[in-house]
Structure 1
């Protein structure tokens, strides 16, 4: 009896938590189909009077969403590939190789995770100005090619693999590079996929850096482009919600496609054999 009551309470709390998470997204979808008068009406109107796509067509007509999507996808692809390559190499070195000061260097890298990312905005911007990369697509992805979190996460996966694999590969004449990309890298596929999803999500929703480094609207990303939907005096909420829905849809689709690897990677990232 107690077990049934406990299970009921737990499931009730999970349902409430799920609704709390999903309701804002549902409200965004409903508002994207409303008129401006319906969106500010008191008392609130839950369902729009008519389901039309006028808000979506208006957003596409007023703002260069084709450039926003292209810039965001290009930046995301470069950042994901670059971070997975660089972070996996660094994680392999920290987890499997022995060299003087390895643990000290790793601790220094981890200490960077304790520092707020906003502190690095000014040095990064100064570098972009010095290298004359402001208002370019390169400035969107170049400072994001390395992540301490990515190194830490993949190091956990490499550390969880038995060291007998390295010894067997060395006996077969495999080099360190061969052990890395032929033996160990395929075994941490869930970690690579889950980290790739996290990197893609972080790149997709980054707002501050694109607004700082680029002023040309055609060189902006989706998240920064949505900021242009916020009016100085009046905000047309249905337009903002329509733009937000178009910006969020690709990431939601990406998660549902790779959710198995994502959940498996997060679940295994803390296990060390």
Structure 2
């Protein structure tokens, strides 16, 4: 006699097939988050601030393509665009020579202050000696002195050395470091693990090798920040060129633009179309420089001052 099954179960389903190689499972859509009014307001404020900051640059660029009669019409799109200003400015002033002088001063000033400030900052951060903190506070105290206080003594020193009228006073002072950059780099050095340098010293590295092969590569973002800051300061500096430069062959870009403002104005007939064109040409290198170093700049600002 045949036995009757106790449970009437459905047939078992076949096992799922394994996913084929090279085929990713379908993505799961995340639910869209609702944008809060506060976030929308924040974006609106940021866009408005961006427009305010970028408008002068757009106006300058637009004015460089306008004839003299339309420079101040406040149109971002020129009514009668022209490139004659870019041709005329090269014939009206030795702009290439001025830019060459500015590049030379900028490179020497940025490299000199970066190397000298990093050496001083490394000494204040790594070595332990009596009076270290007091000496460091004395260095920081020099930042409290207005620049006008040291203008005359500095001029007398360079005049005694026979360097007035040359480019040397515009960059050679950076060989002695800068209090601001010393503070910035010191804070970065303090965030580096000291065990790295102790291990390197155990392996036989001397003081210079510790600084050259370990400290400098580890603080690359801070060094790039210092280079960018000083490059911008040297490129746009007008006060020192006004004091030390006499011959137009040694003019830098800011000093040359000041000379152009004085030259192209006669009986109220100002050639502002040439001034704004020269300003555009001399502004573009700084924009390109900051775009190239933007990643390192943000990284250096974000990590500088974080002490480990």
Matched, 1:105 2:140: no
Structure with greater proportional helix content: 1
Kept after mapping to 2: 8 A contact 1:190/1:261:
yes
Distance 2:126 2:181 in 1: 16
2:150 maps to what in 1?
120
Structure 1 position 113, deviation (Å): 1.3
Q: Secondary structure at the match of 2:171?
A: helix
Distance 2:98 2:214 in 1: 39
**Greater shift in the superposed pair: 134-143 or 252-261:** 134-143
Matched, 1:77 2:107: yes
TM-score, L = length of structure 1: 0.94
Distance 2:34 2:146 in 1: 45
2:78 maps to what in 1?
48
Q: Aligned match of 1:132 in 129, 149, 162?
A: 162
Off by >6 Å, runs of 4+ in structure 1: none
Distance 2:173 2:243 in 1: 13
Structure 1 position 73, deviation (Å): 0.7
Matched, 1:178 2:209: yes
Distance 1:45 1:150 in 2: 41
Kept after mapping to 2: 8 A contact 1:229/1:235:
no
Matched, 1:8 2:49: no
Structure 2 segments unaligned to the other structure (5+ residues): 1-32
1:249 maps to what in 2?
284
Instruction: Between the two structures, name the one with larger relative contact order (CA 8 Å, sep ≥ 6).
Output: 1
Larger Rg computed on CA atoms: 2
Structure 1 position 219, deviation (Å): 0.5
What is the aligned residue count?
Answer: 271
Q: Aligned match of 1:149 in 161, 175, 180?
A: 180
Kept after mapping to 1: 8 A contact 2:165/2:247:
yes
Structure 1 position 52, deviation (Å): 2.0
